[in-house]
Amino acid sequence: MANIKELVKQKELFTGGHRACTGCGAVIVARQVLMVAGPNTVVAGATGCLEVVSTIFPYTAWNIPFIHSAFENAAATISGVEALYKSWVRQGKYNKKINFIAFGGDGGTYDIGLQSLSGAVERGHNILYVCYNNEAYMNTGVQRSGATPKGADTTTAPVGKVRKGKEQSRKNLTEIMIAHDMPYVAQSVAGNWRDLTSKVEKALSIEGPKFINVLQPCMLGWSYKPEITCQMGRLAVDACVWPLYEFVNGRYKITYKPKQKKPVSEWFSPQGRFRHLLKPENKQMLDEIQAQVDNFWENLLKKEAPAQNQ
């Protein structure tokens, strides 16, 4: 594993000058993934924040080959690139080793792109799919997605006089991907560079489909101060709302266990989207969410336990 001094000395493959918001977590994810992947990498991006801010013609922030075609098909698009690679290698027309990476937001991954992702994984392409998960449709203006947590205020599930934000829990995409029985699945976070880069490195060393679900704080959609993006990522992990773990060779491994688990309210408090949940009249909802988080974390510890006993 490269240390941070080595990583920052490399040529920037995702450059500055893009149009992302101040404090954007998505571009941190893209930059750190490419630091590990290196120049022999082809990236497909789903329509979304990352694609829009990085490729406004005639400029591009990508110093590696990049393709965007549509919203719901980053996995299918990169699978086509990888298929051509296999064909050319077999025909003796190409001999470099290439990493194939797709980036999609949570809308493009949990929702509209889930079929395409599932298909590409089932077909066994040698690809790494990275979901930069900011828990809503941020590019179109903070609409609820399948990744939006219960209670969050979004523009299509707003907090009103009667309703209190999103009424449903988010789907557990990481577990859905684990159910594909694929070689590598992980959760990581923008704000822990070591965790993300080491997972990308491990993923790229494995043949076959890989998936990393990266929680990516979004100052605009979550409504917090832009300078605390990375702290927000770490806080999510410390509150166990976003555990860092891997699923490799059929086994769970939690890659970070907080020494002192923080209450969910501490994770909520810097964020405008959860502000209403901290009001006394909504305490019951807060307690329910805390119970869900506790339950998920306990279950994850149990899932990991058999491996530790061996």
Partner 1 sequence: MAKTNIVARTGNEAMAEAMRQINPDVVAAYPITPATEIVQIFAGYVADGLVDTEFVPVESEHSAMSACIGASAAGGRIMTGTSSQGLALMAEMLYIASGLRLPIVMADVNRALSSPINIHCDHSDTMMVKDAGWIQIFSENAQEAYDNMIQAVRIAEEALLPVIVTTDGFIISHCMERIEIIDDKDVKNFVGEKKLGNYLLNVDKPITIGAMDLPDYYFEHKRQHIEAMIESKDIILSVAKEFSGLFGRSYGLFEVYRLEDADCAIVLMGSTVGTAKAVADNLREKGIKAGVLGLRVFRPFPKEEIAQALKNIKAIAVMDRSDSMNAQEGPVCLEVKASLFDDSASPNNVLNYIYGLGGREVRIEDIESVYKGLGEVIKGKSKNKITYLGVRE
| Binding interface with partner 1 (CB under 8 A) | 39-42, 44, 51-52, 55-58, 60, 62-70, 72-73, 76-88, 90-91, 94, 96, 98, 115-116, 118-120, 122-123
Tell me the closest approach of the beta carbon of residue 123 to partner 1, in angstroms: 7
Name beta bridge partners: 100: 42
Q: Is residue 37 within 8 Å of 101, Cβ to Cβ?
A: yes
Taking the complex as a whole, how short is the minimal distance between the CB of residue 38 and partner 1, in angstroms? Answer: 10
Which pair of structure tokens corresponds to residue 21? 């918001």
Compare residues 179 and 291 and give the one whose CB is closer to partner 1: 179
Q: 65, 63, 88: which is closest to 77 by C-alpha?
A: 65
Least CB distance to partner 1 at residue 16 (A):
16
Evaluated on CA atoms 113, 217, 27, 55, the torsion sign reads positive
Q: Which is nearer to partner 1, 109 or 192 (CB)?
A: 109
**Given the DSSP bridges, would you call strands 245-248 and 41-45 parallel, antiparallel or unpaired?**
unpaired
Instruction: Name the residue nearer to partner 1 (CB basis): 58 or 160.
Output: 58
| Least gap, CB of 15 to partner 1 (angstroms) | 12
Taking the complex as a whole, the smallest distance from the CB of residue 72 to partner 1 amounts, in Å, to: 7
CB nearer partner 1, residue 59 or residue 266 = 59
Least distance from partner 1 to the Cβ atom of residue 106, Å: 19
Closer by beta carbon to partner 1, 40 or else 140 = 40
CB of 64 to partner 1, least distance (A): 5
Q: Which residue lies nearer to partner 1 by CB, 88 or 249?
A: 88
Please report which helix (H) or strand (E) contains residue 103, including its range: strand 99-105
Instruction: Print burial letters for 229-260: b (CB count within 10 Å at least 16), e (below 16).
Output: bbebbbbbbbbbbbbbbbbbeeebebbeeeee
Nearer of residues 69 and 143 to partner 1, judged by Cβ: 69
Peptide bond before 58: cis, by omega within 30 degrees of 0?
Answer: yes
Q: Which residue has the tokens 């937001």?
A: 105
Q: How far, CA to CA in Å, does 294 sit from each of 94, 226, 241, 262, 308?
A: 50, 28, 9, 11, 21
Left, alpha or beta for 92 (phi > 0: left; psi -120 to 50: alpha)?
left
Q: Can you tell me whether residue 147 is helix, strand or coil?
A: coil
CB of 114 vs partner 1, minimal distance in Å: 11
Is residue 24 within 8 A of residue 218, CB to CB? The reply is: yes
In the complex with partner 1, the residue whose CB is nearer, 65 or 263, is 65
